[in-house]
């Protein structure tokens, strides 16, 4: 209970206390915005954006540690990169990000990273070719996953 300046008790209603608590908790929640890549050199009104999520794919590997299989998968990624780089003659690279909960290499994300100086359509073509090559290599290895 609260007391006012005259020493009398002031009762706060339970509903008001509940609403205040709920509002405080709700307003403290934050959401993470989707990461976007902005094209440099454009005006802010006409900025073209491309989401980073369109340039990656997830691949499931073995649930336990198998160095030979992981090495073959790494070689498949490198071969796909070489084929795509020879075909397009453009600057791009890739990144491997582990996603497994118990064993980190049980699932990996392969991220295609293109040079920001090339057009978005050319970047999309490069990444599509890269992932098409990688998917064909992955299909050959997929029988060993069981």
Q: Is residue 3 part of a domain?
A: no
How many domains does the chain fold into? Answer: 1
* CATH code (residue 60): 3.30.70.1130
Q: Is residue 8 part of a domain?
A: no
The secondary structure of the chain as a DSSP string is: -EE-TTS-EEPPPHHHHHHHHHHHHHHH---PPPPEEEPTTS-STT--EEEGGGGEEEEE--SS--HHHHHHHHHHHHHHHHHHHHHH---EEEEEEE--SSSGGGEEEEEEEE-TTS-HHHHHHHHHHHHHHHHHHHHHHGGGG-
Q: Is residue 26 part of a domain?
A: no
Residues of the domain holding 111: 54-145
Q: Tens-digit pLDDT profile for the chain (146 aa)?
A: 555 566 554 555 555 555 556 555 444 444 444 444 444 444 445 444 444 445 889 998 888 888 899 999 999 999 999 999 999 887 888 999 998 888 888 899 999 988 888 888 888 899 999 999 999 999 888 877 66
pTM for the full predicted model: 0.60
Q: Is residue 24 part of a domain?
A: no
Q: Is residue 33 part of a domain?
A: no
């Amino acid at each position: 209970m609260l007391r006012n300046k005259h020493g009398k008790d002031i009762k706060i209603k339970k509903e008001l206390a509940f609403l205040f608590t709920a509002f405080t908790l709700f307003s403290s929640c934050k959401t993470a915005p989707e990461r976007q890549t902005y094209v440099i050199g454009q005006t802010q009104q006409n900025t073209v954006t491309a989401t980073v999520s369109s340039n990656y794919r997830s691949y499931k590997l073995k649930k336990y540690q198998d160095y030979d299989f992981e090495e073959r998968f790494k070689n498949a990624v490198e071969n796909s990169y070489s084929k795509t780089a020879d075909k397009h003659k453009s600057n791009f690279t890739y990144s491997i990000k582990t996603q497994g909960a118990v064993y980190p290499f049980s699932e990996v994300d392969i991220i295609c990273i293109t040079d920001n100086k090339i057009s978005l359509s050319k970047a999309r073509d490069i990444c599509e070719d890269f992932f098409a090559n990688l998917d064909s290599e992955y299909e050959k290895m997929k029988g060993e996953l069981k």
